[in-house]
Structure 1
Amino acid sequence: MPLFEVETDSHILITWAEDEEAARVVVAEAYPSDEIARLTKRPRDTWVISKGALGLTNTTADPCAIARECLSRSSGDKVNAIRLYRMETGSDLEHARKAIESNMVMGW
């Protein structure tokens, strides 16, 4: 069964359907008020989303990298590193403490 990408004015759907008309029916049933802007039959039966396109390959978002950076900036002062980590990530105290302490153990 072919895979279709259907873009509406509010959504992007990826669905299997027998043909284009069946794909339109799927959209109409799921989002009856949406207008179809584009309907494309995918060349393969797999859908791939690039993590790079979503911005998920940035290592600065890695909690361990952030914790090690905070430890470095605080010269190993755990309390200061926890404060820095909370400011960088918006984490609560417990999460920040665990991140910093686990990275201290690993020899930041």
Structure 2
Amino acid sequence: MPLFEVETNSHIIITWAEDEQAARAVVADAYPYDEIARLTKRPRDTWVISKGALGLTSPSLDPCLVARECLSRSSGDKVNAIRLYRMETGSDLEHARKAIESNMVMGW
């Protein structure tokens, strides 16, 4: 089954679907108020997110472990997890937000 990348006005959704119409149906079901801006059939059946693109390249820390620990301590509360991450690492708000959100997407 092909992998589709669907960008809406609020989300980027990665989903398997039989065809483009089925991918649109997934988005309509999950996010009925979003408008599809771009829909792309991926050339392979995997999806990779670059840590460099997210600004998570510091060799002195493992942001995944720190971010996951902050998410755990905050019981999944994103705002609290970002605050904890900033306190733990000394990161600025944008870096902390990216680290926490990327780990939330990975299902911490």
Bucket of the pairwise TM-score, normalised by the shorter protein: 0.5 to 0.7
RMSD, aligned CA: 1.5
1:59 offset after TM fit, Å?
A: 2.6
Q: Give unmatched runs, 5+ long, in structure 1.
A: 64-88, 92-108
Match of 2:87 in 1: 90
Listed as ranges, the matches of 1:39-78 within 5 Å are: 39-60=39-60, 62=61
Letter aligned with residue 16 of structure 1: W
Match of 2:5 in 1: 5
- State the structure with more CA Rg: 1
Separation in 2, partners of 1:48, 1:90: 29
1:18 offset after TM fit, Å?
A: 0.2
Q: Give unmatched runs, 5+ long, in structure 2.
A: 63-85, 89-108
Normalised by the length of structure 1, the TM-score is 0.56
Question: How many residues matched?
Answer: 65
1:55 offset after TM fit, Å?
A: 1.2
Moved over 3 A (4+): none
Q: Percent identity?
A: 78
